[in-house]
Structure 1
Amino acid sequence: MKAQVKWVGEEMFMGISESGHTVVMDANAGKLGPSPMENVLLSLGGCSSVDVVSILQKARQDVQDCVVELDGTRVDTVPRLFSDIHLHFVITGNDVSEKHVERAVALSADKYCSVALMLNKGVSITHDFEIKKPA
């Protein structure tokens, strides 16, 4: 896998993925785009969500929506690494089994999400979930 990041001015950078997609990153407090560290959180949330939805669908759960809320804590010293990240999954569907959601979240965290597995080496990652019925 390859990518390119190009400086476009001030503290703005444009990331171009191997598949041709572009992401604007802004190191100036994320005023014009997400910061690189915000992108790390987004990547973790995206990777985990893909796993959770896929696992639940394979278990024939009626999942209609999946939102993951991420809360990252960074250390106060430079480099400002993440020390802790918490993922809160909100799963919406009819008759979704708590057992299946718990299993899907655990499998993503412990076995399938490559972003989580990379970050786990230096970051404490926790997760929980709630299940909602559709409105």
Structure 2
Amino acid sequence: MEFKMKEVGFTTNFEYGELHVAGDEKYGFRPFQLMVSAIAVCSGGVLRKILQKKRIDIEDITIQADVERNEEKANRIEKIHLHYLIKGNNLDKTQIHKSIELARKNCPMVQSVEGSIIIVETFELVQ
């Protein structure tokens, strides 16, 4: 990856397109937004694959992410609460819970921040 400085922030190009990153939302995505997004989407993607392999019929997954940051320590991310809203047919709470635990163990982004950012995961089944 290569990042080029622009007037405010940096830019990089990927196969999908150009990414602008800056501390000010007017000029690009903020770094903490990208980190939280990477953790949430990685977790959700791994969970989706696990549920598919278990042949659990999922119609939709929405992930709500709440972030706690510590202003006294460079505004670092201290805690991320991922709340999954899962829609499907004949869902078993125990199976969903086990699948979320398995996803946590197999998500590279969650494992990358293990020990430095607290990740809390909850879920509810929706209709």
Structures share fold, TM-score greater than 0.5: yes
Please name the residue that 2:61 is paired with.
66
Matched, 1:85 2:80: yes
Looking at structure 1, the residues matched to 43 and 12 of structure 2 have their Cα atoms a distance apart, in angstroms, of: 22
Matched, 1:25 2:25: no
CA RMSD of aligned residues (A): 1.5
- 2:55 aligned counterpart, secondary structure: coil
Please list every run of 5 or more consecutive structure 1 residues that lacks an aligned counterpart in the other structure.
none
43-52 vs 69-78, greater mean Cα deviation: 69-78
Residues 1:52 and 1:106: Cα distance change in structure 2 (over 3 Å)? same
By how many angstroms is 1:78 displaced?
A: 4.2
Residues 1:99 and 1:36: Cα distance change in structure 2 (over 3 Å)? same
Runs of 4 or more above 3 Å deviation: none
Out of 9, 14, 33, the residue aligned to residue 11 of structure 2 is: 14
How is 1:1-135 mapped onto 2 (pairs within 5 angstroms)?
3-10=1-8, 12-17=9-14, 19=15, 21-28=17-24, 30-109=25-104, 111-133=105-127
**CA shift digits 1:85-124 (9 cap, x unpaired):** 1100111111122122111111122x10111111122111
TM-score normalised by the chain length of structure 2: 0.90
Looking at structure 2, the residues matched to 84 and 78 of structure 1 have their Cα atoms a distance apart, in angstroms, of: 13
TM-score normalised by the chain length of structure 1: 0.86
By how many angstroms is 1:77 displaced?
A: 2.1
Alignment length, in residue pairs?
Answer: 127
- 2:28 aligned counterpart, secondary structure: coil
Looking at structure 2, the residues matched to 121 and 37 of structure 1 have their Cα atoms a distance apart, in angstroms, of: 17
Looking at structure 2, the residues matched to 64 and 20 of structure 1 have their Cα atoms a distance apart, in angstroms, of: 26
Looking at structure 1, the residues matched to 26 and 101 of structure 2 have their Cα atoms a distance apart, in angstroms, of: 34
Please list every run of 5 or more consecutive structure 2 residues that lacks an aligned counterpart in the other structure.
none
Identity of aligned residues (%): 23
